[in-house]
Structure 1
Amino acid sequence: MDWFGLWRRGALGLAFVWAATGWAGEARAWTSVDLELVLAIDASASVEDSLLDFQLSGHAAAFRDPSVVAAIGGGSRGKIAVTLVSWSDPTAFEVLIPWTQIGDPDSVLAFAAAIDTLPRRDFAGSTGIGAAMLNAADRFRFSGASSPRRVIDLVSNGFNNIGIMPEYARDQVLAQGITINGLVILDQVPWLTDYFAARVIGGPSAFVRAADDRRSFARAILDKLRWEIAAAADR
């Protein structure tokens, strides 16, 4: 009897089963969503405690808004994947809330509550917008989802002053099929909207919103989320 032949055929068959089940398990881990969204907030030295709170509380309030809750659940897939990160200089990039899939009202409100419970810490560092875009783009590798639209929302109150220039980073991110939107806080640099429009944002339906106080910031975040979710739902 050809024992080696039997062993060889058995080993190959077992390897095939491992490969098949491994592939199936991996495929089940990836979920189809309407949108993959990275929320990237500015945590550089130019951001005071109150401004950091603006960013966090503004995002939490937006996810509680009934129109946003309805828009997230109303897409063709009924959910999105979202993560919240903070950034400052090129080496300071932190995941505050990992990738989370939200769709039904309970999951959306739970995400808002998770933002509210984040500790308000003192941040420092320069403003590395270009590096922030590259780091944010890298996060999509870990989303556990697939979607027709991937978006980076970048919030800042300043211009790039360290690391790769934003326009160079933007080109690399756009080459990956990722859209970059911006929300600027006009508490220090009045021309920041034009700066973002020229050097930061890009991709299909990209835009920049501006805010100069708490009320306008909350409104800008709400409008931004509505627009992004609606753009994703159209695909």
Structure 2
Amino acid sequence: MWRHSWFRTLIGAVSLLLAPVPPAVAQEQVDVALVLAVDVSRSMSTEELQIQRRGYAAAISSPEVIRAIGMGVNGRIALMMFEWANENHAREIVPWSIIETQPDARAFADRILADTTFGQRRTSISGAIRHASALLADVPYKASRLVIDISGDGPNNQGTPVTLERDAALARGHVINGLPLMTRGGVGFQFNIPDLDDYYRHCVTGGPASFVLPVVEWAQFPDAVRRKLILEIGGWIPVGPARVIPAQITFGPPYDCMVGEKIWQRLRRQYFWDP
């Protein structure tokens, strides 16, 4: 009897080993996984923060962006948005979402508009890139391209030097595009630099088909975001309007990518250390 029991146990174990393994759940395929990283530092006024939020909502739900999504191989993208300021502030506004139809886009836009933003101290573009790159590394979809869309109105002035985080993201295969906001307003206007578009081109952006699209007036913002999304969704190299600057251009004299940190140190000496 003991032999029969042992034999049945052995047969059961062999059956378990030979049983077919259920296939893993396949990840949904998307044309691009796109992280929207939105600056909420105090160098932007409350009104500007609201313009920015409404501009993103309008662009994402626009017919032109929906049409661009539909032209992709898979006809869908993965999108998420978070706000950033100092190196410890990265707050999710909308989690990873599939955008395939107008209702998908409208739902995403509604969540943007329903959220409330309060300006935060300091500007850590490097922290924003690091956070966005980590999100792309764990994106729950299978994406043909991994893109960080980062907007901001001043240079990095806190945390790791921005070029180090940029280079780390590019080494992971991530593309970084920039939307420098060359406007004036907010309490931190003293951190603004006149050539923020050049700063983004030299120090922030990079990767295949990457580009910089400057905004010099807030009235331009919704249209700029819409154009930027269309380029990112299609993976197209920007051509035409001179204000859309391919990030790969590197000619000209060397650029000081620590300019923001130097401004911060100068202001600290001026306001806190000098007698």
- With normalisation by structure 1, the TM-score equals 0.89
| 1:174 maps to 2:170 | yes
- Distance in 2 between the 1:110 and 1:103 partners? 11
- Aligned residue number for residue 73 of structure 1: 70
- Aligned residue number for residue 24 of structure 2: 24
Could you tell me how far 1:14 is from its partner in structure 2?
4.1
- Distance in 1 between the 2:182 and 2:15 partners? 64
Could you tell me how far 1:123 is from its partner in structure 2?
2.3
SS at 1:143 equivalent: coil
- Distance in 1 between the 2:113 and 2:154 partners? 24
- Aligned residue number for residue 194 of structure 1: 198
- Distance in 1 between the 2:219 and 2:56 partners? 12
- Distance in 2 between the 1:9 and 1:143 partners? 42
Give the alignment partner of residue 151 of structure 2, picking from 151, 155, 172.
155
| Greater percentage in helix | 1
Give the alignment partner of residue 122 of structure 1, picking from 100, 118, 122.
118
Could you tell me how far 1:83 is from its partner in structure 2?
0.1
Could you tell me how far 1:218 is from its partner in structure 2?
1.4
- Distance in 1 between the 2:89 and 2:149 partners? 17
SS at 2:230 equivalent: helix
- Distance in 2 between the 1:140 and 1:181 partners? 14
- Aligned residue number for residue 185 of structure 1: 181
| 1:212 maps to 2:216 | yes
Structure 2 portions without partners, runs of 5+: 184-191, 237-275
The verdict on how the C-alpha distance between 1:6 and 1:91 changes in structure 2, with shifts beyond 3 A counting, is: farther
| 1:85 maps to 2:86 | no
Deviations 1:154-205 (A, max 9, x none): 0000110111111111110001110000001112322110001001000000
SS at 1:24 equivalent: coil
Dislocated runs of 4+, deviation >6 Å: none
| RMSD of Structure 2 on Structure 1 (CA) | 2.0
Larger radius of gyration: 2
- With normalisation by structure 2, the TM-score equals 0.76
Could you tell me how far 1:4 is from its partner in structure 2?
5.1
Between the two proteins, the alignment pairs up a number of residues equal to 226
- Distance in 1 between the 2:11 and 2:95 partners? 44
Q: CA contact under 8 A between 2:93 and 2:111: conserved in structure 1?
A: no
Could you tell me how far 1:128 is from its partner in structure 2?
0.7
